[in-house]
Amino acid sequence: MVDINTIKFIIIVALFILSALPLHRSVKFFKGKTNFPKTLLITFISGLIISAISLLIKFYFGAIIFIVLIGIYKKAFNLKWTKAIMVCALQFILITVSSIIIALISGLLLKLPLFR
């Protein structure tokens, strides 16, 4: 029998890898310099930095976090500011579209209503 903690760990790692895919595709689309392990590292580091900023400021200040995220993307992937902003926008679009597709498929498979 497989330990429940092992299953939880595998699920967390799989979700982390899936969460880095939109960023990786976006950076590649705009000709940034990256590979998938680097994208995973940047996803992890940017998550830590944004979490630390949120804790230090004591409230969610979206503009500062957005600028910091764009700065991380610019530096890590050797992008210009405009391309870093476009990477962030394309990443958001890819996440939104994939979330809608997953919701529709899971709604069909599980016969759950998407909107109530």
All structural domains of the chain with their residue ranges:
4-110
Q: Per DSSP, which regions of the chain are E strands? A: none
The DSSP element (H or E) to which 96 belongs, if any, is helix 81-110
Q: pLDDT digits over 53-80, tens only?
A: 888 887 667 888 889 999 999 999 999 9
Say which residues have a Cβ less than 8 Å from residue 108's Cβ, sequence separation at least 6: none
Q: What is the mean pLDDT of residues 75-104?
A: 92
* pTM reported for the whole predicted model: 0.80
Assess whether pLDDT exceeds 90 at residue 93: yes
